[in-house]
């Protein structure tokens, strides 16, 4: 069973958006390639925009290492 099956019953339009996003962006990216950088950026921006306009609260946590940014975790409710 898909992790979206229950959501699909309540909000099929949202599931369609999420499935489209996953099919386009949910993968590994070679960030040495400028085209891949642009696609990665586009995917992060698109899902962040969706999260920002549909949620009531949000949290962003930046993880750093001795060489720079190591990760970013976003959550909303």
Coil vs helix vs strand at 59: strand
**What's the confidence (pLDDT) of residue 2?**
82
This prediction's pTM: 0.86
Phi and psi at 23, nearest 5°, equal -65, -25
| Structural domain boundaries in the chain | 5-76
pLDDT range class, residue 46, cuts 50, 70, 90: very high
Alpha carbon distance 34, 24 (integer Å)? 17
**Tens digit of each residue's pLDDT (9 = 90 or more) over 15-45:** 999 999 999 999 999 999 999 999 999 999 9
pLDDT of 1 higher than 60: no
**Tens digit of each residue's pLDDT (9 = 90 or more) over 2-19:** 899 999 999 999 999 999
């Amino acid at each position: 069973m898909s992790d979206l099956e229950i959501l699909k019953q309540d909000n099929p339009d949202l599931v369609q958006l999420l499935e489209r996003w996953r099919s386009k962006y949910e993968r590994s990216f070679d960030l040495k390639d400028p085209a891949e950088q642009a696609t990665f950026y586009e995917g992060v921006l698109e899902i962040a925009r969706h999260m920002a306009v549909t949620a009531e609260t949000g949290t962003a946590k930046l993880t750093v290492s001795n060489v720079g940014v190591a990760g970013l975790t976003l959550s909303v409710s």
